[in-house]
Every structure is written in C-alpha cells, then in structure tokens.
Amino acid sequence: MNPVCKYSDKFRWIVFPVLVLTVSLFPGAQRTKAQSIPDSVNPANPGRVTQARFTEGYGKLPLGFEANRGQSDPQVRFLSHGSGYTLFLTDQEAVLALPTGSQDPKVASLGSNVQNPKSKIQNTFVRKIAGINELPGKSNYFIGNDPHKWRSNLPMYAKVKYQDIYPGIDVLYYGNQQQLETDFVVRRGANPNRIALCFQGAKKMEVQGQGDLTARTAAGEVRLRKPFIYQEVNGLRREIPGGYLLRALNPKSENPEYEVGFKVGAYDRTKTLVIDPVLLAYSTLLGGSGLSDVVSAVAVDAAGNAYVVGETDSSDFPTTPGAFQTQTTPPSSFVTKLNPAGTGLVYSTYFGLATIWGIAVDAGGNVFFTGYAGEGLPTTEGAYQTTHQGTFYYGSNNQFSYPCHRAFVTKLNPTGDKLLYSTYLGGNTDNTEELGAEVAVDATGNAYVTGSTSSIDFPTTPGAFQPTRKGETDAFVTKLNAAGSGLVYSTYFGGATVPWGSGSSTGLGIGADLSGNIYVAGRTATTDLPVTPGAYQTANAGDIDVFVAKFDPTREGSASLLYSTYLGGGGADSPGNFYPFGGNSLAVDDTGKAYVTGVSWSGPSFPTTPQAFSHDGQMFVAKIDPTLSGNASLVYAAKFGGGEVDLGNSIAVDHVGTVFVTGGTEGFHQNTVNAFQPTVGGGTSCGFGGSADAFVLRVNPGGTRLVYFSYLGKGDNDAGTGIAVDSIGNAYLAGWTGGLGCSNAGFPTTPGAFQTGHAGDNQKVGFVAKVVDAGQASGSGGIDVAGGTGTFDFSVQRDTTGALTGALQYVNQVTGAKAHAEKVTGLVIDGQTATFTGTCTTNAAPCTFAVSVTDNGSPGTNDSFSISVSGGSAEGGTLRNGDIQIQH
C-alpha cells in the first residue's frame, strides 16, 4: 500500500468517492426491506450483492442510514442500501459494494483491511460520527433460524455526519434512493487544502476538460461532476472557483491508488465554505439513425419514470417488444417511457403519422398526448370524434391538396400497448386547420387541451364563453371527459382586431387547479382579446403579446372567464417560443397561481417586478395570481439572458411554488449558479448561428433568486423543449441536440445511460436528462390536531449552514379543525425557511397540511412558524401561528 494512504489525517475511500453517485451507474441490484446483507458482502468478506426486483416509487423515499447493531461487521458504524449499491461507513473509510457489469455482482474493493476486519488505518485523532434526523421507519432483519441473530427496530437516519474528519471540516452523507451525495463543510478558519482522500478499486481516474472526475472500475466508468463550491453571504450563495486535484500514487500498479483533493479559489475565511455539487443524475440520448429525432415534451410520474413524446424520421428508433406500434414508415411520432435511472426503456412505441407536441401523465401511469394529424390517425370506438374531415387545397388553380391538419387527444395505457381512447378534435371545413399544442389531466382523468383553430365549426359546448371564431385564427380551450367520449367544456378564445387586418390568437400552455378551473397561456396579435376588470394589463402593448386566462368550466357565458390579461411590451412576446413544438409554457400550483415562461423581443418595455431575480434578457418568467387585481396580480416577473437568442420553452412548478425552466440559448451573459455545467459547451457555430446550449434553471418560490442555473450541451445546437418536476424537486428535461451542419460529438451523457452514442453528424438527436439539487434537505414528522389543541413534531436538517437543525415541537391552539397527519410528502428549504407539506385526515375526510418554520439565524432565540390545514372538515379552520425555538 502506498505510504500516503497511511497518513493519519487521510480518510480512505474504497472503490471511489460518493460525491456524485447515481443509480444509473449500478442497475439491477437493490435490497428490499425484508432482506439482510449476507456475510459475503460486508467489509469482512467481499462477495455477492443480492439481486432484487427494482421497486418503483423508491425515488421519493429518503435514503436511510442504519446504525449498526450487529447486522454488519463490527467496523461498520452506519450502512445504507441504495438502488444497486450498499455503502458501509466506518471510522476510517467508506466502502462501496456494487455490481459489476456481469450477472455476478461483486464488491469492487481491493484493500487488505476490507478483506481482514482486524486491519485498520492508524489514527492520531478521534472523529465524532453521528446519525442525524432520525426517520420514522425502522429496519428489521429476520434471517435464518437463530433468533439470537435477528435484529429488529433498528433506527434509520436521513444523514450521517463525520465531525472534524479534518480539523474544522465536517463531512455529511445524505440523499434519496436515487442519489447518494456528500458535502464537505469547511468551517471558518479551517483549511480546505487538508482534504485529501485516498481511493482504491478504481483502475484509472482522470479529471476531464470541464472539470468532471472520472473513475474506471470493474462496474464501468463513474463520472463525478465538477463540484460546486460556495459560501452563503447575506442569505445568497456566492460561488467560489475551484475543482478537483488528482494525484496518482502508484499508477503502474495493477491496483493503483489515487489521492483526490480540492483546489479552492479566494474566499472569505471568516465564513463557512461548502463543496456541494448540483448533480446531473442521468443524461441519455434518444434516437435512431435518421436525420431528425426530436423530443418535444416530458412528464414524470410518482415513481420517477420519465415519459417523452416527439417526432422521428428513423426507421430504427428504439421501440420495445409488445408496444402499441413497433414498426413504421417514417416520419412518425413516438411515445417513450424511461425507467427512473435513465438506463432503459419501460416501453417505447411509434404513433403513426401524427405530430405530438404535448404530454401529461396521471397517477395511474396513463399517458395523454396531443398534437395534430391528417387522415389515418388511430382512433378508438366510442371516442368523441373518430373520423377526419376537410381538405386543404393549394396551387394556382387549387390543383394540389392534402388532408387538413386536425388536433387530436390520445390516452395510452400504463404498459404502452393499448389506446384507451383516441379522438380527433377539430372542425370539418376545407382549408382550415387545428393544432393541439398542450394537454393537462386532472385527478379524475379529464383532459384539458389548448391550441389554435382556423375552423368556423370547431366544436364548442352550450354556454361556452366564446362560441364562434373572431379572428383569422383563435385559441381553443377544451375539457374532454375521462372516457374521451364527449366534451365537458369547449370554447374559442381570441380577438378580431389588429391594425393591419384580421387577428390571430394561439393557445400554447394549459393547466388546471385542484378545483377544476382551467388556465391557459398563449399569444395574440389582437387588440380586442377579452380581458377582465382588474387585469394586470388590459391592452396589447405591442405587436404580439402574451395572454394568460382562467376559466371556470362549470359556469356559462361571460361568467366562465374568471381572469384574463395581456402580458407584454412594445415588441413581440410569446409563451414558449413562436412555434408550439416545446413543452408546456404554463404551470399551475396547488394554490391556483399561474406561471408562464417564454421569449420577449420587447426590450426594457416588457414588465418586470422590482425584487425579481433578474431584469435583463430575452427569456421571461412570470407568476400571476388571478385572485388579485391590477399590479398585485403580477406576483413577480423576471427577464433573464443576454445572448442573441434566449428561449424559455417550458416551465414546471412544485407544490410550494419553486419554478423550473428549460429552453435554449446562444450563451447567457449571466453567471451560472450551482451549475453542473458552468459554461456553454465548446462546439462550433451552427443551428441558431452561434454556440447554443440547452439550459435548466430553478427559481425560489419568491422569484427573488436562482437556486441553480446550468447549461446542458456541447455548444453546437442544443435546446431544451420540455421540463417536469417530481415530488422531491428533481427536474426532468428533454430536448434535442445537433442538426444540419452541426457536430454531434460531445453531448454530455452519463455512464450507464440508455443511449450514450449517436449515428453521426448532421443528425438531430433527442435527449432526456434528470437534474438533482444536491442542496435538497430531508425531514420527517407529523401533525396531530384534535379539538382545541394540537401538536406538531418535525425533524429538519439544513445541510449547509446547520440552521433549521433539530426537533421542532410546539403545542398549538386550533379552532374548527380536527386533523391527524398520515405522512409528510415534501420538505423545501428556501433561504432560512423550511416548509413541510403532507396529507392528513379530518373526521375521516382527506386534507393537506403545511407547516412553515423560519429561522432568524440567532441560536437560542424564537423563530416564527405558521400552520395551515385545507380540505375535509378542516377547510376554513384557523390555526394560530406564532413563535417556536429551534434547536441549533
């Protein structure tokens, strides 16, 4: 063994570090709750890793660290079982057991102390190792016939902290079932140059050009993204330049060892320093050998499966056996479901000659999609409109023709092999068309669709807000029943007047709130689009403006329009971009707020709000509260960018109002924040006319700061077209890379992803990626309210500064509510505020609750909190807010 690894202040890592460790690297192995670790896979005896069925839904669960109570080798202090790996934490080292690429998984470890449990690295100092944030669940091991070897009621922790692993430096392990992560917290006055980790089990390690660290192991290549190093200054994260330092200790050995440290730029040594990367959990290409495979939109289910739709001209686009349509004559559209790790297809199918632009998925895994098609759309018996009508004639004497484009809505079953319904949605008149842009679905299976129509006979319902077309083209807003057999509500929406002729309006984004109200965003060139009294902007300010509207489909006529406003400046502005081939440009949160993104060519005349995170650029993000009037209804609006082309194509929002956006840019004149790719890729100019990348950004609920902002691409011609977010704040983005005149080399994919290669240059290839915020916090707890008094008991850990740490207990006075929590479904930390959300019951009726705690930053003093319960018999009940002391 190299002498460097014997130094007393070196912590040893067996296999490779877990700064960035994704499930996609280790497919096919996972321990279920009923299984234990056989002796052959603990550090005393490397061997097989038990093979188990992949459990869907694991992605939401916090990663549990078990305290060792005899279920593993005595050296082990804590152990954790992720999907495809087991991590053992001892006093001196982290041992990672993972499968190889064969069917005979092995522990990839060669250290003698792993083979011999009595062997330890000598230390001259003592580390304090502790589990923090105990989880509600327990682990039990009932293996074999000897009850003395059984272990039950073992505590589980969300995080493990090594205190003073180097003087003044702590290490924190945390994550969820899809992601294992590590933070180095360098307290003020400590020296980050002391961090030096010895690695065994990696055959070769290298620092790549963009700062990523790669390790080649028996299980394949592992990529560790460039770490994000920062300090918190006045509540904001300030990025510190830096990266990995790698030294091979014995590179010619068959079993080389490596030392990895961190180089850190100038920083304020009086403040805590954190090395904490935002992670690209997986990134995969998706396409065949044709010239164009474009992913248009993405949705995600509760288990972390990603669903994407798009267009392809590849006859060998990847499909799965038994899918609805496995062969086609291109061009065609496709629907694909990827597993939560991004390593394989659950199903993938062609879908005829249609063009698909929008997608949604319900709680049961049924997929809804919309777009447009001519003749030959697969329709189902009993669907609302099963036949195509209308011919489009052109030419000097109308001697040429093709079937009119008509919108459609299709529902595909969870296994991807059967259409549950499929229907056209359009008029019958020649020389007209409909384009279905976006679709949403509610909890009862009703589908909501928007797009554009030039038909005078587009189907509307009695009592619709606008039963006839006004402009040359109008938006349409349609609610389809759960069976796909009839319309619940359908209306035109548009104006007639523009300075130079007939007007046009197009619906580009749609959503629904928990009450079934419909929200739609689009663009209009008209000056007489219907607006409501008290709207934020009652007139078109330029050539083309955004519009945002809210409808109540249970009302009739003018009463069904609850809110409608223009949003724009003196130029041309649009949700998404000016072509509706991207994902949904509108999102709706649980409280009925609407969020819209897009592109503005209006310069400084486009409205922004004073406290927004940015005021310059072409891409915009806006939040609208339709229950308020005038300026108050624009909660925030920001412009961002600085390149020649900056497009906000798609937006998503989580349950507390955190916003996620993707699009395309030629290069923001902005600094990245917590980025996994901090600069535009180094490709050649093509596509937009310059180096262009996709991007992903996350905005805090107040709209005042970026949580992260990163590029994704190789710098040639890359664009994000769709984005979705899961229940724990992971972002899923989709788009395309390459095209005519562009090189396809170098688009960032992750090891083990479904498709890491491509057919060659001059090809447009789809991509799907998952982004994890390494700064996510974990928490557990519940609320009990009965009659006049109640208690809540939560545990929260903020993984960077230590604020909001410890158990929170308070007796709270309540009126008009009796509630009992069933589970905590989410925790979001924004600045110094932690917000728990969850489900509960009130007198046997379902409800939801939220508890927000704000830390004032001073240990030992009171901090504010608020509680709300809604739904069931608690609706309208009041809960007293107040002060609580947080244990620092």
Whether residue 331 is preceded by a cis peptide bond, meaning omega within 30 degrees of 0, is yes
* Rounded Cα gap, residues 732 and 336, in angstroms: 14
714 — pLDDT class (breaks 50, 70, 90) = confident
| Domain coverage including residue 835 | 778-885
Q: Coil, strand or helix: which one is 510?
A: strand
- Work out the average pLDDT over 840-857: 61
Tokens of 551: 């409808």
* Rounded Cα gap, residues 457 and 588, in angstroms: 30
Structural contact between residues 689 and 742, judged by C-beta atoms closer than 8 angstroms? no
115 — pLDDT class (breaks 50, 70, 90) = very low
Q: Could you tell me which residues are beta bridge partners of residue 519?
A: 511, 550
Three-state DSSP string of 642-654: CCCCEEEEEEEEC
pLDDT digits (tens, 9 = 90+) for 37-95: 223 333 333 222 222 222 222 233 446 788 888 777 888 888 887 655 677 888 777 77
Selection from 31, 251, 248 nearest residue 143 by Cα: 31
Structural contact between residues 613 and 586, judged by C-beta atoms closer than 8 angstroms? no
Q: Looking at the domain assignment, is residue 642 inside a domain?
A: no
Q: Coil, strand or helix: which one is 60?
A: helix
* Rounded Cα gap, residues 481 and 483, in angstroms: 6
* Rounded Cα gap, residues 299 and 308, in angstroms: 7
* Rounded Cα gap, residues 732 and 25, in angstroms: 18
What are the C-alpha distances in Å from 258 to residues 4, 93, 213?
10, 14, 12
* Rounded Cα gap, residues 361 and 298, in angstroms: 9
Structural contact between residues 795 and 804, judged by C-beta atoms closer than 8 angstroms? no
* Rounded Cα gap, residues 56 and 880, in angstroms: 39
Structural contact between residues 405 and 458, judged by C-beta atoms closer than 8 angstroms? no
pLDDT digits (tens, 9 = 90+) for 490-527: 999 999 988 666 679 999 999 999 999 999 999 999 99
638 — pLDDT class (breaks 50, 70, 90) = very high
Query: What angle is formed at CA 479 by the lines to CA 311 and CA 840, rounded to 5 degrees?
Result: 100
* Rounded Cα gap, residues 98 and 107, in angstroms: 6
Amino acid at 723: I
Tokens of 20: 């960035």
Question: Virtual CA dihedral for 650, 651, 652, 658, nearest 10 degrees?
Answer: 150
Q: What is the pLDDT of residue 624?
A: 98
Q: Looking at the domain assignment, is residue 731 inside a domain?
A: no
* Rounded Cα gap, residues 782 and 157, in angstroms: 16
Tokens of 240: 């510190």
pLDDT digits (tens, 9 = 90+) for 573-604: 999 865 555 678 999 998 999 999 999 999 99
384 — pLDDT class (breaks 50, 70, 90) = very high
Structural contact between residues 282 and 342, judged by C-beta atoms closer than 8 angstroms? yes
Query: What angle is formed at CA 219 by the lines to CA 216 and CA 225, rounded to 5 degrees?
Result: 50
Structural contact between residues 310 and 293, judged by C-beta atoms closer than 8 angstroms? yes
* Rounded Cα gap, residues 298 and 306, in angstroms: 7
Q: Looking at the domain assignment, is residue 728 inside a domain?
A: no
Alpha helices in 613-733 (DSSP H): none
- Compute CA 539 distance to the chain's CA centroid, rounded to the nearest angstrom: 35
Q: Looking at the domain assignment, is residue 72 inside a domain?
A: yes
Name the phi and psi angles at 58, rounded to 5: -65, -25
146 — pLDDT class (breaks 50, 70, 90) = confident
Q: Is the pLDDT of residue 106 over 50?
A: no
pLDDT digits (tens, 9 = 90+) for 763-777: 789 999 998 765 444
Tokens of 47: 């061997």
Tokens of 174: 């945390």
Q: Coil, strand or helix: which one is 872?
A: helix
- Work out the average pLDDT over 247-262: 79
* Rounded Cα gap, residues 425 and 376, in angstroms: 14
pLDDT digits (tens, 9 = 90+) for 529-547: 999 999 999 999 988 999 9
Amino acid at 647: L
Out of 233, 252, 277, a domain closes at 277
Minimum mean pLDDT range among 194-198, 369-373, 802-806: 802-806
| Buried-exposed string 104-141: b where 16+ CB fall within 10 A, e elsewhere | ebbbbbbbebbeebeeebeeeeebebebbbbbeeebeb
Q: Looking at the domain assignment, is residue 663 inside a domain?
A: no
pLDDT digits (tens, 9 = 90+) for 728-766: 788 999 999 887 666 656 788 877 789 988 765 557 899
What are the C-alpha distances in Å from 654 to residues 41, 250, 461, 833?
39, 48, 32, 16
pLDDT digits (tens, 9 = 90+) for 282-320: 889 999 988 889 999 999 998 899 999 999 999 999 999
Strands annotated E in 743-777: 764-772
Q: Looking at the domain assignment, is residue 641 inside a domain?
A: no
Cβ-count burial of 253 within 10 angstroms (0-12 exposed, 13-18 middle, 19+ buried)?
exposed
* Rounded Cα gap, residues 182 and 190, in angstroms: 18
* Counted domains in the chain: 2
Selection from 457, 403, 404, 405 nearest residue 427 by Cα: 457
Q: Looking at the domain assignment, is residue 528 inside a domain?
A: no
256: DSSP letter: -
Q: Looking at the domain assignment, is residue 160 inside a domain?
A: yes
* Rounded Cα gap, residues 631 and 615, in angstroms: 17
Q: Coil, strand or helix: which one is 284?
A: strand
Q: What is the pLDDT of residue 277?
A: 53
pLDDT digits (tens, 9 = 90+) for 442-473: 999 999 999 999 999 999 999 999 999 999 99
Out of 277, 296, 312, a domain closes at 277
Rounded to a whole number of angstroms, the CA Rg of the chain reads 28
Q: What is the mean pLDDT of the chain?
A: 75
| CB atoms closer than 10 angstroms to residue 641 | 25
Name the phi and psi angles at 60, rounded to 5: -80, -15
Out of 223, 248, 277, a domain closes at 277
The position carrying tokens 């929002």 is 653
DSSP of 787-833, one letter per residue? TTEEEEEEEEE-TTT--S-EEEEEEEEEES--EEEEEEEEEEEETTE
| CB atoms closer than 10 angstroms to residue 310 | 30
- CA terminus-to-terminus distance, the chain: 42
